[in-house]
Amino acid sequence: MSFIRLNITVEGLTELRFAKNVLARHLGNFQISTDARAVMTSKDKSKTHRGGLISYEKAKRDISTWLKEDANPEARFSTMFDLYALPKDFPAYEEARKLNAPYEKVNFLEEAMRKDIGDRRFIPYIQLHEFEALVLADPKNLELEYFENENAIRELEKQLEAVGGNPELLNEGKEKAPSKRIQKVIPEYDKVSSGALIAESAGMDFLREKCRHFDEWISQLEKLAVTGD
C-alpha cells in the first residue's frame, strides 16, 4: 500500500471544516494524507480571498495552480462543490440542464470537469444538491445546535420521507435547495458555524448509507492508496 497525498479544493468554509475534520481523519485510515483549501475568489497585494464558487474559470485557475505546485505523481486532487447554484460558465452547463435525472446530471458534469482540467490525478466531486444534504441525512441532529425545534425537524423529516429517505434527492432551487429548506423552518440556521458539526455527528457510515453519490466518492478516494487510480 502506497502513501497518497490528497488535495481537495472546496467551495466554502463549511466544506473546508468538513474536509479537514471528517474526511482527513477517515482517509488517514487508508494511508491518505488530506489537505484542503477553499477556492480562491480574488487576490490583492496583501491578501488572498477564499470561499464561494462564483466563477468556474477562477476555480479552474486555482485548481490548476495547485496541480502545478504539487507535481508529485503520487499526489491526487479533488473538489467538493455544490450542484446548487453551480456557475453558468461550468463545463457542459447548458447540456447538463437538459438532464432531469440528478445522478445522471452530476456524473455528466463531473466528467466534463475532469476532461476540462485534463490531469489524470484529478478526481472531481460535486455534491448533490448541496452540502446540506449531509446535514439532512438525519434531521434530528439539528437538535444538537438548535434546541426546541421539534416541529421544524419533523417537517424536515417529512420532506426527507417524500424522497424515499434520500437527502441527495432534496433538489436545487431558490426555495427547494437543502439549505433553504432548513432556513425556512429554522431561520437561525448558520451553515458555517453549524453545518459541518451537524453532518459530522451523523458519522461517516451513516452518511454513506444515505447518500449514494457521496459514498461513491469516498469509496474512490479510499482505493487510491491501493490502486493509485
Other CB atoms within 10 A of residue 226 CB: 12
What does the pLDDT look like over 157-183, one tens digit per residue?
Answer: 999 999 999 999 998 677 789 999 999
What does the pLDDT look like over 124-143, one tens digit per residue?
Answer: 999 999 999 999 999 999 99
What does the pLDDT look like over 179-195, one tens digit per residue?
Answer: 999 999 999 999 988 99
What pLDDT is stored for residue 175 in this prediction?
78
What pLDDT is stored for residue 199 in this prediction?
96
Query: Chain-centre distance of CA 84, in angstroms?
Result: 11
Q: 42 pairs with which residues across the strands?
A: 49
Taking CA atoms, 115 is separated from 14, 180, 222, 229, in Å, by 27, 32, 22, 16
For 86-196, where are the E strands, in sequence order? 122-123, 126-127
Residue reference for cell 434520500: 166
Asked if pLDDT for residue 110 goes beyond 70, the answer is yes
Average pLDDT over every residue of 25-35: 96
67: CB partners within 8 A, 6+ apart: 77, 117, 119, 121, 122
CA atoms within 13 A on the CB side of 201: 15
Query: What angle in degrees, to the nearest 10, is found between the helix axes of 102-117 and 56-69?
Result: 50
For the chain, where are the E strands, in sequence order? 4-10, 32-38, 40-43, 48-50, 75-82, 122-123, 126-127
In whole angstroms, give the CA distance from residue 124 to residue 57: 15
Q: Which amino acid is at 31?
A: Q
Domains and CATH numbers, the chain: 4-128+211-227 (3.40.50), 132-205 (no CATH)
